[in-house]
Amino acid sequence: MKENGVDNPAFEPPSPEEQRAAPGLSRPSPGEEPRREELCGWGRCAPRGLQLCNNAKGYLLFYSLLSVFQGIIVNGLINVSISTIEKRYELNSSLTGLISASYDIAFCVLCLFISFYGEKGHKPRWLAVGSFLIGLGSLVFSLPHFTSGVYKYGEKLDDTCPATNGQFYNASCTPGSQSSLSNYLYVFILGQLILGAGGTPLYTLGTAFIDDSVPKHKASAYIGIGYSMSLLGPAVGYVLGGQLLKIYVDFNHHVRTDITPEDPRWVGAWWVAFVVCGFCTWLLVAPFSYFPRHLPGTQKIKAEKISEAHHDGKEHKDTSDFPRTLWSLLINPVLMCLVTAAAVEALVATGFATFLPKFIENQFGFSSSYSATLGGVVLIPGAALGQIISGTLVSKLKLDCKNIIKFIVTTCSIALALNSVFLFAKCGNEPFAGVSETYNGTGTLSNLTAPCNENCRCLRSVYLPVCGTDEVQYFSPCYAGCSSVSNQKSGKVYSNCSCIVNPKSTFDNITNGAITGKCASKCTVLPAFLFFFFLTVVFTFMAVTPTTVAILRCVPDTHRSFAMGVHMLFLRILGTIPGPILFGVAIDNSCTLWSVDKCGKTGACWIYNNHLMAYTLMGISATCKVIAIAFTITAFVLYKPPPVQTSASQKTIETETSVQL
């Protein structure tokens, strides 16, 4: 049908059966059966039982399941296992960083093409391909375990005074030498590239399909639920991966071992969850393949929607040309402002997701595992709650594009105010011999060696912190001058420590001694920090779902999937890729004591300046939020809604009524 001589793409002429069932109307009645091409199944095979899921809620169920498994693998298991993989396959942190970045590299390369060409294709079947690739990538990532043989570890010697000449793994210093195990780096990168290719349709075509299939006022609630499920995945991945790391890596070979998970040489069963999740993800291939190109009622929903695309006074024509379509989106100022704001916010979110456990560990003196648990308790529920709340509010209030952008500015401003939590929730450093204070007035500051331990030949390459009875922390029992060790119920207790001369307490009746582990922090602001940081996370993520909805609204209907591709591309280039790098550099700048390996090469940081770390992270976060707010306000000012219009279905009814009259 044509209106004013122009084809109306949102209107499909009714079939003769539809005209007989509802004369005078151009759309199916609410109780009408879906057409054959809208049935769930393969070709003519469309069992009635499958039609129970042939709706937006059924699609959301499988979309959420795929989001969960993708999150478990990519953002959960890999993050948990990366340090274990370093140890098992003798990789350094720069190489494992390349493994982590490979996912985003594949995503950036493919997202524009998949979102552009997938818009014209069968979106659910694109997700079926994505499910297959995610499962395949997970299995490829686990492949090194099955081809690298049984893990072998060397002898570990206690670091007491005088130190023995032994090292971990009985390894000698041979700079430049590299084990053949490090060649598995390329297998891990291949697995990540496949995972990146599989994840691309999920957050581009999958999100656009939801927006196409539900009424405009419900889209934000559906997208919010789907996004919140994507955050459930990392939580499950951290818990599942953490528990499996307590099982020995080669348990399937029935290998006997005399080391425990507390031993630095321990390698856990990192590979098990990758295999299980890979096969589970493959179970989603069939359901996505069965969904039709469009859910029943989609044509009616599209016909009733009124476009809110940014109107700059120019007439935009639909084109199938990739460069022209991309250019039309890049010159859309509202879209690019929203995309940039979202990318800057993502930079902060991914930075804290990576380093919040490290911040808690150093500020409040907890173990790395407990700090990771606290970080997960704050980040995952806060992010999920923020997205669900914002999606529900936008849906219930039926906000248009202009008011959605105003909503984003409000939530970001509140998050900026809450960012001041770093000003009062920081803690100073506990006394550390040779770092923050001298050895009882002997030696020099920032020097671990003092007269009390200079004859111990201590190893700087092994960090085994102990807390002395003088309530001062030492780098290792050797640097505390301890010459004896005994195993007690509370753990190892060191005695005869020459550097501990003013004891304030005792350990098992030992005065000049030390106990394994860091000294307990005297900082008491942790509960306040976790509470206010939780609120900061909630309000930060309250902007995520509305931003996605606004991006889908401010572009023409036929460009929505491609707009999501542009959004995800910038999100990674400006956000998730540089975010951890920027935060890592900032945290490294607050380091006061670096590790030195057996070859004299500087490695990881052992001790940080807590005040400097807190101020640095607050400065980065506040700056990024101010930039995000500025771009969002610019989008609000520049946005111009299209001229007042009626929906396609209303136009059709009005036209047919005038013809009948």
Strands laid side by side in the 466-468 sheet: 473-474, 466-468, 514-516, 491-497, 482-488
How would you classify residue 313: left for phi > 0, otherwise alpha for psi between -120 and 50, otherwise beta?
A: left
Answer whether residue 98 shows pLDDT above 60. Answer: yes
380 pLDDT tier (thresholds 50, 70, 90): confident
Taking CA atoms, 489 is separated from 204, 507, 508, 515, in Å, by: 55, 11, 10, 12
pLDDT value of position 338: 94
Specify the DSSP element, H or E, that contains 97.
helix 93-118
Domain boundary among 471, 495, 520: 520
* pLDDT at residue 653 tops 70: no
- In a domain, residue 43? The reply is no
The position carrying tokens 């425990």 is 260
Distance CA 213, CA 69 (A): 23
d(CA 72, CA 201): 17
DSSP string, 180-233: GGGGGHHHHHHHHHHHHHHHHHHHTHHHHHHHHHS-HHHHHHHHHHHHHHHHHH
Q: How far is CA 263 from CA 258, 365, 520, 634, in A?
A: 10, 20, 21, 54
**Is residue 110 located within the same domain as residue 246?**
yes
**Band of pLDDT at residue 23, cut at 50, 70 and 90:** very low
Do 412 and 435 have their domain in common? no
Mean pLDDT estimate for the chain: 79
Distance CA 324, CA 578 (A): 29
**362 and 246 share one domain:** no
- pLDDT tens column, 196-208: 999 989 888 888 8
pLDDT of residue 37: 66
The C-alpha angle 409, 410, 411, rounded to 5 degrees, equals 95
Together in a domain, 591 and 516: no
User: Does 21 map to a domain?
Assistant: no
- DSSP H helical segments within 333-488, as ranges? 333-364, 368-397, 401-418, 421-424
Among the candidates 520, 544, 575, a domain finishes at: 520
Task: Round to whole Å and give the CA distance between 375 and 530.
Answer: 9
**Whether 206 and 275 share a structural domain:** yes
Among the residue ranges 215-229, 382-396, 523-537, the one predicted with the least confidence is 215-229
Q: What is the mean pLDDT of residues 519-545?
A: 87
Name the residue among 298, 361, 357, 353 with its Cα closest to residue 517. Answer: 361
- The model's pLDDT over 452-486, given as tens digits with 9 standing for 90+, comes to 888 888 877 767 888 888 888 888 888 888 888 88
Instruction: Say whether both 383 and 511 belong to one domain.
Output: no
From 487, 520, 553, give the residue that closes a domain: 520
Q: Which pLDDT does position 191 carry in this prediction?
A: 94
Instruction: Decide if 512 is inside a domain.
Output: yes
470 and 558 part of one domain: no
Instruction: Determine, yes or no, domain membership for 623.
Output: yes
Asked whether the predicted pLDDT for residue 278 surpasses 80, the reply is yes
Q: Are residues 438 and 574 in the same domain?
A: no
- pTM for this predicted structure: 0.73
Is 172 domain-assigned? no
Same domain? 87 vs 195: yes
Rounded to whole angstroms, the Cα distance separating 95 from 85 reads 11
- Residue span of the structural domain in which 250 resides: 52-156+181-291
Q: Tell me, yes or no, whether 417 and 467 share the same domain.
A: no
Regarding whether 367 and 227 lie in a shared domain, the answer is no
CATH number assigned to the domain comprising residue 378: 1.20.1250.20
In this structure, are 500 and 560 located in the same domain?
A: no
Residue 300, amino acid: K
Per-residue pLDDT, averaged over 482-497, amounts to 81
Residue at 120 is within a domain: yes
Q: Is residue 141 part of a domain?
A: yes
Q: Does residue 400 sit within a domain?
A: yes
Distances 137 to 71, 140, 184, 525 between C-alpha atoms, Å: 13, 5, 15, 43
First vs last Cα of the chain: how many Å apart? 19
Number of domains in the chain: 3
